[in-house]
Amino acid sequence: MNTNPVVWFEIYVQDMARAQKFYESVLRVKLEKLGDPTDSTVEMMAFPMDMERPGASGALAKMSGFTSGGNSTLVYFSCADCAEEAGRVASSGGRIQRDKMAIGEYGFIVLALDTEGNMFGLHSMK
């Protein structure tokens, strides 16, 4: 494998407007409607992406038959200082699962739950 192993992620949601508002508020980004190339019944709101930079992007996804929460996939969002974004989680409708903690030479993480019951991580080097 000559590339980073993760190239895309999807976070499944039940209420797209609520989930979009949560992630835009916590991460201070603007999600954009993403057309479904398969023309199925998937509604998607994409996180910002720059194809010239390393790392993966992804989208919130709403599809009949796919529930949110209780999944086994954990997405970590890169931050300058994860405590900053963590400070916006509760006021945006989510909750902190694990406060900022050191992970040795790899920096710091916070684990949180979004408005849909999905756990996600925040990562920073400070």
Q: What is the CATH number of the domain that holds 77?
A: 3.10.180.10
Q: Can you say how many angstroms the Cα of residue 35 is from the centroid of all Cα atoms in its chain?
A: 19
Distance CA 14, CA 90 (A): 19
53 inside domain = yes
Distance CA 126, CA 116 (A): 28
Q: Can you say how many angstroms the Cα of residue 40 is from the centroid of all Cα atoms in its chain?
A: 23
pTM higher than 0.95 for the full model? no
pLDDT value at residue 90: 98
**Where in the sequence is the domain holding 108, given as residue range(s)?**
8-124
Q: In what order do the strands lie in the sheet with 8-12?
A: 8-12, 57-62, 43-46, 32-34
What single-letter DSSP state applies at residue 17?
H
pLDDT in tens, the chain (126 residues): 566 777 789 899 999 999 999 999 999 999 999 876 555 678 999 999 888 888 888 999 998 888 888 776 889 999 999 999 999 999 999 999 999 999 999 999 999 999 999 999 999 999
115 inside domain = yes
Torsion angle in degrees (nearest 10) through CA of 86, 90, 95, 99: 30
pLDDT value at residue 41: 77
Residues belonging to the chain: 126
